[in-house]
Amino acid sequence: MSAFSFNKLVIFGVGLIGGSLALALRERGAGGTVVGVGRQAGSVERALELRVIDAAATLDDDAALAGALDRADVVLLAAPVAQTRALLERIVPFLDAATIVTDAGSTKGDVIDAARAALGARIAQFVPGHPIAGRESSGVDAALPGLYVDRNVVLCPLPENAPQSVERIAAMWRATGARVGQMPAGQHDRVFASVSHLPHVLSYALVEQILASPDAELKFSFAAGGFRDFTRIAASSPEMWRDICVANRAALLAELDAYTDVLARLRAAIDAGDGAALEAVFARSRAARTAWQERGGKPSAAADTPE
């Protein structure tokens, strides 16, 4: 049995992230009723068919929404980050005082601003979070009960949060098999601009570059493992990554500028035929990538964040 249990969990956006949370908690015996809420009935009907959720509601139905949120233990916002304020404004009239709200957004500064604007004096009920897991596939059909096993979840607690509320959300994610840590929102957005948001932009950019070439079809026909590995994440949700790039643009632009500087150095070395300079960069990168892989993708001791 899981150390975490709940009576009612309400998920806004029952896709890969929200659906996988529901499946993981169910598989690990956390119990309780899972209610899925979508913008339209069709978006939650599939989750019902797959038995990922037990009940469903839509955002445009006041009575159904009030019933869904009544005596909910936890609410998870698993929708694109640009929808955060509108979702919170929609649910706050129906939100019980004891309900804890959290999110799964890949950016935190904008999400926290949206939560403060929407919740006002009730901001203590919102515990910002980010599960570091995903697949190139999206939607509830891609949900997996093991998606979060040995994956990192970052919480960015607010000064107003009660410690027991933060621990409750941490316990929920630990129950899925995840490792839970904490960091300030600003640090979170800088870190993930580098290791998550930038790689997605680069992956999309490479595909866009090839699409713009006159022999794009020929290039795609000969693309193999390297191209597949590098561009796998370009199959991710365009809507989600549009919102992330806009929301975290300051940190992302800083990373893009730094990456452009590295490309310029590599270009100069290639132009000069400077094999030694190229090999030195490649060797450093290989060593760092190997060390990261040998840790299983876990944070190093120096970088690990306490719970």
pLDDT per position as a tens digit, 76-117: 999 989 999 999 999 999 999 999 999 999 999 999 999 999
User: Percent of the chain scored above 70 by pLDDT?
Assistant: 95
Domain 188-294 is found in CATH 1.10.3660.10: yes
Residue 72, pLDDT above cutoff 60: yes
Question: Which residue from 153, 146, 159, 154 is spatially nearest to 183, judged by alpha carbons?
Answer: 154
Mean pLDDT score of the chain: 93
Judge whether 77 and 104 are in contact, CB under 8 Å.
yes
Query: Residue 43 has what pLDDT?
Result: 77
Banded model confidence at residue 20, pLDDT cuts 50, 70, 90? very high
Domain ranges within the chain, ordered by starting residue: 8-183, 188-294
**CA distance linking residue 64 with residue 67, whole number of Å:** 5
- Average pLDDT in the 268-290 region? 97
**Amino acid of residue 266:** L
What residues contact residue 50 under an 8 Å CB cut-off, 6+ apart? 19, 140, 141, 143
Query: Residue 3 has what pLDDT?
Result: 82
In CATH terms, the fold of domain 8-183 is: Rossmann fold (3.40.50)
Helices and strands counted in the chain (H then E): 13, 9
> How is the beta sheet containing 129-131 ordered, strand by strand?
129-131, 152-155, 179-182
Distance linking the first and last C-alpha atoms of the chain: 22
Banded model confidence at residue 297, pLDDT cuts 50, 70, 90? low
Angle at 21 between CA 18 and CA 23, to 5 degrees: 110
More confident residue, 221 or 304: 221
Which of the residue ranges 152-156, 235-239, 265-269 would you say has the lowest mean pLDDT?
A: 235-239
- Average pLDDT in the 105-132 region? 97
Query: Residue 139 has what pLDDT?
Result: 85
Residue 1, pLDDT above cutoff 80: no
What residues contact residue 161 under an 8 Å CB cut-off, 6+ apart? 124, 126, 127
Query: Residue 66 has what pLDDT?
Result: 97
